[in-house]
Amino acid sequence: MNPRKFVKYPDAFTPQPKKKAMFEEFDATQLFCPKCKQAVSVRKRLLLVLPEGDKYEYLCAFCSESVGMKIDRHVKPTTVIV
């Protein structure tokens, strides 16, 4: 058994091309509600339209308590017609 077969030399390393991610973003379907004290279904509500993206709030489907927020940065830029 030749131990040199198992040694990787730094010059033998060839970097792999970057692969595209399998997913871009997630949308939550269930989050923990502190008022209901359990994981519940959520509703997504648009709060603000910002230059860097749209800001959403996640609300509990049962008691309407705010359980999280998200900024969607993959939105096409909004143009304002004056």
pLDDT tens by residue, 29-60: 999 999 999 999 999 999 998 888 899 999 99
- Judge whether 1 lies within some domain: no
**Single pTM value for the model:** 0.63
What is the pLDDT confidence band of residue 78, given thresholds at 50, 70 and 90? low
**What is the rounded CA–CA span in Å between residue 7 and residue 9?**
6
Mean pLDDT of the chain: 81
Q: Which amino acid is at 4?
A: R
Strands 30-33 and 53-60: unpaired
**What is the rounded CA–CA span in Å between residue 67 and residue 57?**
8
**What is the rounded CA–CA span in Å between residue 27 and residue 29?**
6
Per the structure, how many domains does the chain have?
1
69 CB-near residues (< 8 Å, 6+ apart) = 47, 55, 56, 57, 58
Say yes or no to pLDDT of 75 above 60: no
- Judge whether 2 lies within some domain: no
Domain range holding 69? 30-82
- Judge whether 6 lies within some domain: no
